[in-house]
Amino acid sequence: MKQTRIDRRFAELAAAKRAGLVTFTMAGDPDPETSFRILQGLPAAGADLIELGMPFTDPMADGPAIQAAGLRALDAGMTLRKTLEMVRRFRKQDDTTPLILMGYYNPVYSYGVPAFLDDAAAAGVDGLIIVDLPSEEDPELCLPAMEKNINFIRLATPTTDDARLPAVLNNASGFVYYVSFTGITGAAALDTQAVGEAVTRLKRHTQLPIAVGFGIKTPEQAAAVARHADAAVVGSALIARLADAPDRDTAISAVLDLVKALADGVRNARRDG
């Protein structure tokens, strides 16, 4: 594969000797225009990489916050086609921030894998995280995505033991997303010591950068993770801000303010080693 925006961004972060902030928001939540304005504001607020959720009716690995975000987006008429259109619009103003689409396989399968990959590549998508495609199903989307120079981001979890890791990392590229606990998004409290040990374990198996997500809600937690990992991922906490806001303008500023605070946390964290 050729270098992607993801590879370049992690190289820049390594050169700057700091970890990155990865944000997750849902495309179309609470409506397409508001979610685009949030997306547009993320790089300036301090997001180093952007994960954009593709809404799905049955998000089996997500907690209540992200479930609700997906349903709000679908109720507002969001579709995968419109999500790709949103990425295309974003790319007109930003050609450097990596953008990763995250979601479930059925909408992609329904779109048609070859057409989806063509359209995603043309729109400026750099990576994909598909929760329900483990390495056993690599021929479905991972291998075709690599051919289009789109990173297929692997998830590793506390249940992915050393025996299984090589299989999981086999076709990994871009970075590895470490899911910090067994559970759904937005649930349990973060155990930073366990995260540190897990990152050390992963680093024995791969040269790829490690991003850690699930359970990071505050700038302090993001900073704690940033001391161990190459990036910290925050999703449910941003979505909760958006959901709690009384109106659309407040929602946008509430989300971007939290991104700024998280980015400060990550940037000021002292890296181990």
Partner 1 sequence: MQKPNSYRSGPDDQGHFGIYGGRYVAETLMPLILELEEAYRSAKDDPAFAAEMDGFMRDFVGRPSPLYFAERMSEHFGGAQIWFKREELNHTGAHKINNCIGQILLARRMGKKRIIAETGAGQHGVATATVAARFGLPCVIYMGEVDIERQRPNVFRMKLLGAEVVAVKSGSRTLKDALNEALRDWVTNVEDTFYIIGTAAGPHPYPELVRDFQSVIGREAKAQMMQRLGRLPDTLVACIGGGSNAIGLFHPFLDDEGVELVAVEAAGRGIETGEHAASIAAGRPGVLHGNRTYLLQDDDGQIVEAHSISAGLDYPGIGPEHAWLNDIGRARYVPATDEEALEAFQLCSRLEGIIPALESCHALAEVAKMAPKLPKEHIILVNLSGRGDKDIFTVAEALGVSL
- Per annotation, catalytic residue among 7, 62, 119, 126: 62
Burial of 114 (C-beta count, 10 Å sphere; 0-12/13-18/19+): exposed
Q: Rounded CA gap, 159 and 157, in Å? A: 5
Token pair belonging to 42: 């993320």
State how far Cα 155 lies from the chain centre.
Answer: 11
- Per annotation, catalytic residue among 7, 48, 51, 126: 51
Smallest separation (angstroms) from partner 1 to the CB of 159? 5
- Tell me whether residue 20 or residue 59 sits nearer to partner 1 (CB atom): 59
Token pair belonging to 5: 């925006």
Q: Rounded CA gap, 159 and 179, in Å? A: 10
Positions touching partner 1 (CB under 8 A) are 55-61, 63-64, 67, 71, 74, 79-81, 104-111, 131-137, 154-161, 164, 168, 179, 182-184, 187-188
Contact 121, 99 (CB under 8 A): no
Token pair belonging to 191: 């155990």
Handedness of CA 225, 227, 230, 231 (dihedral sign): positive
Contact 169, 207 (CB under 8 A): no
Smallest separation (angstroms) from partner 1 to the CB of 265? 27
Phi, psi for 131 (deg, rounded to 5): -60, -40
- Tell me whether residue 36 or residue 104 sits nearer to partner 1 (CB atom): 104
Smallest separation (angstroms) from partner 1 to the CB of 41? 27
Handedness of CA 184, 269, 36, 95 (dihedral sign): negative
| 51 assigned to active site | yes
Q: Rounded CA gap, 183 and 178, in Å? A: 13
| 140 assigned to active site | no
- Tell me whether residue 85 or residue 264 sits nearer to partner 1 (CB atom): 85
- Tell me whether residue 58 or residue 118 sits nearer to partner 1 (CB atom): 58
DSSP state of 269: P
- Tell me whether residue 211 or residue 255 sits nearer to partner 1 (CB atom): 211
| Angle between helix 192-205 and 219-226 (nearest 10) | 30
Smallest separation (angstroms) from partner 1 to the CB of 155? 5
Which amino acids are annotated catalytic? Answer: 51, 62
